[in-house]
Amino acid sequence: MRRRAAEFRRPARRRLSYWICLLLGVFVAAGFVLFVFQHHHQDRLEPPVRDKVPADKEIPHETQNLGQELLNTTSFARQLADQMTLAKAYVIIAKEHNNLRLAWELSSQVRNGQWLLSRAAVRGKRITLEEAHPIVSRLAHLIYKAQDSNYDISTMITTLKSHSLALEERANAATVQSAEFGKLAAEAMPKSLHCLNIKLTEEWFRNPSYRQLSEEGRNLPLLVDNNLYHLCIFSDNVLATSVVVNSTASNAGYPQQLVFHVVTDSINYQAMTTWFLRNEFRGCTVEVLCIEDLVWLNASFSPMVKRIMSAETQASYFAGNSKDQSRETKLKGPNYASLLNHLRFYIPQIQPQLEKVVFLDDDVVVQKDLTPLFSVELHGNVIGAVETCLEAFHRFYRYLNFSNPIISSKFDPQACGWAFGMNIFDLVAWKKANVTDKYHYWQEQNADRMLWKTGTLAPGLLAFYGLMEPLDRRWHILGLGYDSSVDDRLIESAAVVHFNGNMKPWHKLAISKYKHLWEQYVNLSDPIIKDCIMH
């Protein structure tokens, strides 16, 4: 019985282990299936992630900046651009040597390269080797062909240098031409001013009382009274002279003590005299003289008159005129040859009884009382002027030819320049220093125009050398006829503002921001002004 019991228990254990193994197998199979399923599911989800990562990496290539690529010396775009630049130079050389076929082939490949660079810039991608190689190779072949035709680097440098010199010459010629055109524009009389002169001259001949008043005013005692304030203006512009007188009188504390000595030419004498006889400027006195009445100013006395009256000068400046012209001829030339512009060197001869005068150009506007200027101490010097050497280019070497030993042996090239336009003159010291004789000497030395070209400033720097007293800069501010950036604070504080340059305030080409400074002193109440200026 015991044996049977034992035999009965053994089979039961075998069935239990069998079920355990079966369950373990099922679990293993299920785990394997789950593993396979999960792995397959991950494989299906991963491709978008893998696609996204390369896409992110490619974005910089798609938005590549062509400008940055051209700065990269290893890029294909840079190599292509360099080849194109060299090819363009050889195109010029090939054309000069009449090798039109080579020039055409080079130009064609340059156009291909430009098209490729443009396409790369539009799409925002780098130029690849496959794209650049055909064009670069072809350009390299053509450049080698050009070099083989003796268009070497030496030839190219020489050719490009000649082109550069030619362009420089053209630029210089254009600059000179522009300056000449600007000068012509500045010298041309606007229609309104021409109208004013004609109407005033008609008024002079229509009304005999003007001539009588003019004759009566010639011998007034106050014209030589040194207790009054005397100012000189030399001009053929009636309206400009009127503005100078009006602005000076309007800002003077005692305008009745001002005496203006105006010298003009015979063409404008009647108009100038009529204007100042028919208009009152706060009680100031205005004397108008004609340059033709200065009989002492002739060729035997003045080298400048001799030069202007010479047949050679007349042939160059007054083409078509005969040699036996009247003295009026000398007043019809350009400003640098006009005696009116040089009368500033003859003030003691024009006004021999005066001791101190202020000289004013006709393109200035006076904004403050000028009478204190007569009290400025000149310390024995002849002229008081505002220095202009705050900028380096306003020194003597910019105005004079220091390669000439006559200049270099007597003057300092770094000496400070100064300005004409508003100056105080001590005529007693002038006569003592013989300034007019010095001016004549330097005019004779410059007969061939080798010391300076034109103008009055250069001979003024020489004649008044060592005789100039610097004035406070606020007395005289320059540049309103060419510089649109003059500091407004300087203009406001200035006693005199100067429209030096070609953009005169009575011309349409004047700098608009400064024009009101001049226009406010135009006498618009005069009916002739209304007829000519306003209409």
Per-residue confidence in pLDDT tens, the chain, 535 aa: 444 444 444 455 555 566 666 666 766 666 665 665 555 544 444 444 444 444 444 444 445 566 677 777 778 888 888 888 888 878 877 887 788 888 888 888 888 888 888 888 888 778 888 888 888 888 888 888 877 775 566 666 777 677 778 788 888 887 777 766 666 666 667 888 889 999 999 999 999 999 999 998 888 999 999 999 999 999 999 999 999 999 999 999 999 999 999 999 999 999 999 999 999 999 999 999 999 999 999 999 999 888 877 744 555 544 554 444 444 444 444 433 478 999 999 999 999 999 999 999 999 999 999 999 999 999 999 999 999 987 655 889 999 999 999 999 999 999 999 999 999 999 999 999 999 999 999 999 998 889 998 889 999 999 999 999 999 999 999 999 999 999 999 999 999 999 998 899 998 889 999 999 999 999 888 888 888 876 6
Q: How far apart are CA 107 and CA 522, in angstroms?
A: 62
8 Å CB contact between 289 and 261: yes
Around Cβ 443, how many Cβ atoms within 10 Å? Answer: 21
Torsion angles phi and psi, residue 69, rounded to 5? -65, -35
By three-state DSSP, how is residue 435 classified? helix
- Across-strand partners of 289? 263
> What are the extents of the domains in the chain?
66-151, 191-313+334-534
Tokens of 518: 């001049």
Q: What is the DSSP letter of 189?
A: P
Strands 496-498 and 364-366 come out as: antiparallel
In 197-209, which positions are buried (b, 16+ CB within 10 angstroms) versus exposed (e)?
bebbbebbeeeee
Q: How far apart are CA 128 and CA 79, in angstroms?
A: 12
Q: How far apart are CA 218 and CA 291, in angstroms?
A: 15
Q: How far apart are CA 445 and CA 230, in angstroms?
A: 33
Residue in 258, 269, 440, 274 with CA at minimum distance from that of residue 349: 440
Residue in 180, 445, 179, 407 with CA at minimum distance from that of residue 307: 445
8 Å CB contact between 480 and 497: yes
Provide the phi-psi class of 128: left if phi over 0, else alpha when psi is between -120 and 50, else beta.
beta
CA dihedral 397→398→404→408, nearest 10 degrees, is -10
Residue in 456, 377, 481, 470 with CA at minimum distance from that of residue 416: 470
CATH class of the domain at 191-313+334-534: alpha beta
pTM, to two decimals:
0.66
Query: CA separation (Å) from 447 to 297, 307, 329, 354, 444?
Result: 18, 8, 20, 32, 5
Q: How far apart are CA 333 and CA 326, in angstroms?
A: 13
In 509-518, which positions are buried (b, 16+ CB within 10 angstroms) versus exposed (e)?
ebbeebbebb
Provide the phi-psi class of 300: left if phi over 0, else alpha when psi is between -120 and 50, else beta.
alpha
